[in-house]
């Protein structure tokens, strides 16, 4: 039934795309993939914007508001994030209202970087105690400009995330899409000011004063070529988002179930074992992946070498032994200047089903990221984004940094810090 629903919605949308293309101004409804490329690597899809340039361009366009949900902020003088922070501060001083929402658990990682921001006019910082509310963290990485543009992706506000880590994000220019993200941000911003979960649950059922973008009511955007695509956002966890948005885990399961021929996944870590929080087995995505392989879908998975810790390594091997599933792990070469802590890693969180459906998210693929942790994503139907992400995936899949995971072998996780 769920797969039938997905198929029917996709079919109806595809019929309406051509007529809608003429009626919508592509400049106001654009979608763009954005990539962070580690220096001295083979990565970097031609024609795909780089993160620093995209962020600065979006921030410079702000006239009224900038709202940022960030896991943490780690700035370093002279590195790639510094010009972004300078642009943010300049916007606030010019009268743009800036709100920054940070995670409490990782606040120590942000303190030195946000200290210069405290006291900047028009800039306010709140800290969300997700750990005491659900046991998770604020792991989302998105920001909204003027209630009309959104960036969402794997990129943390970390200098390393711009040119020392491989990342994938999306820039969406659409007022309705942005208002949907704004509604979620405002909900969490309110909780940060008054961290009362029962009170928040009452607010969560209040309907919005606009039509949010959801899986059942998506929007039509235009990719870089001007071709129409269909998109909707999804959010986690269910307890810390308004009830009127699409929840991420069931939408991702339906996405996997929709695959007919191929399913390509690149994510830092993936596990069917519950790690952070309660222990046990997480069947949702695991069953969907195994079922896809059983019905003949070719499943290709790239994880980071950070995923080689146990029991995650054993879980990945349990996938790799199945017909139609291949798992590879990626080990990026060190930076030219030497070892950099918490860097030189595949941090992307995206997937491509067949040749026309894509997913770009902020969370890793394990239970806590969908059920206790704040994350966000965008689902896209359209050949343009799928082709771009497939090219990015294949550059890695066929490149020099990956190793095929083989059952029965033991692999050592890398030095991280």
**Phi, psi angle pair for 249, to nearest 5°:** -60, -50
- pLDDT at 79 (0 to 100): 98
pLDDT tens sequence across 294-304: 999 999 999 99
Q: Where are the domains of the chain?
A: 2-404
CATH topology of domain 2-404: Endonuclease; Chain A (3.30.870)
H helix runs in 24-80, sequence order: 51-60
pLDDT tens sequence across 321-337: 999 999 999 999 999 99
Radius of gyration of the chain (CA): 20
Give me the half-sphere count of Cα atoms (radius 13 Å) on the Cβ side of residue 174.
Answer: 28
Residue 274: strand, helix, or coil? strand
- Measured distance CA(319)–CA(275) in Å, rounded: 18
Nearest to 46 by CA among 267, 172, 224: 224
Angle, to 10 degrees, between the axis of helix 81-93 and the axis of helix 51-60?
0
Torsion sign across C-alpha atoms 249, 253, 255, 261: positive
Q: What is the mean pLDDT of each run of 10 residues along the chain (417 residues)?
A: 47 41 56 98 97 98 98 98 98 98 96 96 98 96 98 98 98 98 97 89 91 98 95 96 97 98 98 92 98 98 98 98 98 97 98 98 98 98 98 98 96 95
- The pTM (predicted TM-score) of the whole model is 0.94
Task: Compute the mean pLDDT over every residue in the chain, rounded to the nearest whole number.
Answer: 93
CA angle 271, 73, 96 (to 5 degrees): 125
- Measured distance CA(166)–CA(174) in Å, rounded: 26
pLDDT tens sequence across 50-84: 999 999 999 999 999 999 999 999 999 999 999 99
């Amino acid at each position: 039934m769920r797969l039938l629903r997905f198929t029917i919605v996709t079919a109806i949308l595809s019929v309406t795309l051509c007529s809608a293309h003429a009626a919508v101004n592509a400049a106001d409804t654009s979608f763009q993939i954005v990539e962070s490329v580690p220096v001295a690597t083979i990565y970097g899809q031609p024609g795909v914007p780089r993160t620093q340039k995209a962020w600065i361009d979006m921030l410079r366009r702000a006239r009224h508001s900038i709202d940022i949900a960030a896991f943490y902020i780690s700035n370093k003088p002279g590195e790639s994030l510094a010009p972004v922070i300078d642009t943010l501060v300049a916007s606030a001083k010019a009268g743009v209202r800036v709100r920054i929402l940070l995670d409490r658990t990782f606040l120590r990682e942000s303190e030195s970087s946000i200290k210069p921001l405290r006291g900047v006019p028009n800039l306010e910082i709140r800290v969300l105690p997700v750990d005491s509310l659900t046991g998770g963290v604020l792991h989302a990485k998105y920001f909204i400009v003027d209630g009309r543009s959104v960036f969402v992706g794997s990129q943390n506000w970390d200098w390393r995330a711009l040119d020392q880590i491989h990342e994938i994000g999306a820039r969406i220019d659409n007022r309705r899409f942005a208002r949907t993200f704004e509604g979620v941000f405002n909900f969490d911003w309110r909780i940060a000011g008054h961290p009362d979960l029962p009170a928040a649950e009452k607010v969560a059922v209040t309907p919005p004063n606009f039509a949010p973008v959801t899986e059942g009511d998506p929007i039509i955007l235009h990719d870089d070529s001007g071709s129409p695509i269909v998109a909707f956002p999804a959010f986690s966890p269910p307890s810390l988002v308004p009830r009127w948005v699409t929840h991420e885990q069931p939408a991702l399961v339906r996405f996997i179930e929709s695959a007919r021929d191929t399913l390509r996944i690149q994510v830092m870590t993936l596990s069917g074992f519950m790690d952070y929080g309660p222990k046990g087995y997480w069947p949702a995505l695991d069953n969907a992946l195994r079922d896809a392989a059983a019905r003949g879908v070719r499943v290709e998975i790239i994880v980071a070498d950070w995923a080689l810790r146990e029991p995650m390594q054993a879980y990945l091997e349990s996938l790799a032994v199945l017909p139609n599933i291949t798992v590879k792990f990626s080990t990026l070469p060190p930076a030219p200047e030497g070892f950099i802590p918490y860097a030189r890693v595949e941090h992307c969180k995206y997937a491509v089903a067949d040749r026309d459906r894509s997913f770009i998210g902020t969370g890793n693929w394990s239970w806590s990221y969908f059920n206790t942790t704040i994350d966000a994503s965008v689902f896209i139907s359209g050949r343009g984004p799928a082709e771009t992400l497939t090219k990015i995936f294949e550059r890695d899949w066929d490149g020099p940094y990956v190793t095929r995971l083989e059952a029965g072998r033991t692999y050592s996780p890398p030095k991280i810090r």
